[in-house]
Amino acid sequence: MMNKKSHGQSRVTIEEFFKGNKENLQLTLVAGHGGMKKRIRVPEVYRPGLNLAGYLRSYSPRRILIFGRVEIEYLRELEPKMRLNRLKGILSKQVPALIVARRLRPPKELVELCTLRDIALFRSSQPTMALQSQITVILAEEFSPVVSYHGTLVEAFGVGVLIQGDSSVGKSETALGLIERGHRLISDDVVKVKKKEGSYLEGSGPDLTRHLLEIRGIGIINVAHLYGAVCISENKRIDMIVKLEEWDDDHFYDRVGLEEKYLDILGLKVPFHVLPLKPGRDVVLLLETIVLNYRLKLMGYNSAKEFNVKLLDAIAKQQVHHPRTRKALT
């Protein structure tokens, strides 16, 4: 059911990082063209102010470096020989890249050393802190754990539902029924699940099958073309998982709903429901009901718990009015 794709490890190179964020971060390559193939291995950016002063204990050269006004002005105050020695102390070949903020002009020793050691050197017109914050967010996104699931992801009543089940059980047909009722398709067959900000899961689909739905007996249909752009979305937070399975007369299915089940995905618990199928059951209506009931629970209303309280209260009253029954029960 699940194919693990990656787990918090980035394969992005400096060249890919540059091309993907050139406009957003306002980057210009100054030197170190030979370092564009280096891979970013640590999702961190670092301002080496203290290290430029000669303190190198616990310094890690695997992070992207950012030089702001303080670093550049400090370097300019040093003698050329001292400036070169300080830069040599932090610019090993392990450094993936260096970015000079505020469109400041890097010292010639910095340019020469980056060229010699194949460290990509960029300039940006953005303020230092804004640049550091943006890159931190970009790298956190890039290094987020990702897994791939077999299933269909839809949005119903604003809730992201991952529909799972064995092959040919009716996942795509269920999604089609939901789309017909005005809900949205996110992805069919393969769903890429990414852990976002360490607190929730977001699902999306591969570019190749985006907006497509496979219906046995019909073939591939383009949901955006048939039903309009309002019935599709690129990604959606995954709020619950519903597994479709053939009805089994020997299996006990919960009739009250007091027991809440969860699945663990990337360390996060996701509400899980099993929806048994047999002729005569309107699976689309049932799935909509599961979603609406989920929304009620978020607002603090639990139908199953309320029924259980009423049931226990009725039993207690019956025992009070029929002491013989109470004595027999005890």
Catalytic residue among 57, 81, 255, 327: 255
Q: What is the pTM of this model?
A: 0.75
* Domain residue ranges of the chain, discontinuous segments joined by +: 8-142, 146-299, 300-330
Catalytic residue among 22, 39, 117, 150: 150
Give pLDDT tens digits along the chain (330 positions).
Answer: 444 444 445 579 999 999 999 999 999 999 999 999 999 999 999 999 999 999 999 899 999 999 999 999 999 999 999 999 999 999 999 999 999 999 999 999 999 999 999 999 999 999 999 999 999 999 988 898 899 999 999 999 999 999 999 998 999 999 999 999 999 999 999 999 999 988 999 999 999 999 999 998 999 999 999 999 999 999 999 999 999 999 988 887 777 777 789 999 999 999 999 999 999 899 999 999 999 999 999 998 887 777 777 777 888 878 776 655 545 444
Return the CATH superfamily for domain 146-299. Answer: P-loop containing nucleotide triphosphate hydrolases (3.40.50.300)
Contacts of residue 255, defined as CB under 8 A and 6 or more positions apart, other chains included, come to: none
Residue 275's nearest CA partner among 264, 286, 265 is 286
Q: Would you state the structure tokens that stand for residue 170, as one six-digit string?
A: 């009716």
Active site residue 321: no
Catalogue the long-range contacts made by 138-141 (C-beta closer than 8 Å, 24 or more residues apart).
Answer: 138/17, 138/21, 139/10, 139/40, 139/43, 139/44, 139/45, 139/64, 140/43, 140/197, 141/196
Contacts of residue 320, defined as CB under 8 A and 6 or more positions apart, other chains included, come to: 326
AA identity, residue 31: A
Burial of 198 (0-12, 13-18, 19+ CB in 10 A): exposed
AA identity, residue 284: V
Active site residue 171: yes
List phi, psi (to 5°) of 230.
-70, -15
Catalytic residue among 41, 118, 189, 295: 189
Active site residue 189: yes
CB contact at 8 A, 307 and 276:
no
CB contact at 8 A, 184 and 260:
no
**What's the pLDDT score for residue 315?**
83
Neighbours of 255 (CB within 10 A): 7
Contacts of residue 317, defined as CB under 8 A and 6 or more positions apart, other chains included, come to: none
Rounded to the nearest 5 degrees, what angle is found at the Cα of 253, between the Cα atoms of 173 and 242?
Answer: 35
Catalytic residue among 86, 171, 184, 194: 171
Q: In angstroms, what CA-CA distances link 265 with 99, 259, 269?
A: 36, 20, 6
| Number of residues that this document lists for the chain | 330
Dist CA 43 CA 49 (whole Å): 19
CATH for 8-142, options being 3.30.70.260, 3.40.50.170, 3.40.50.1000, 3.40.1390.20: 3.40.1390.20
Active site residue 188: no
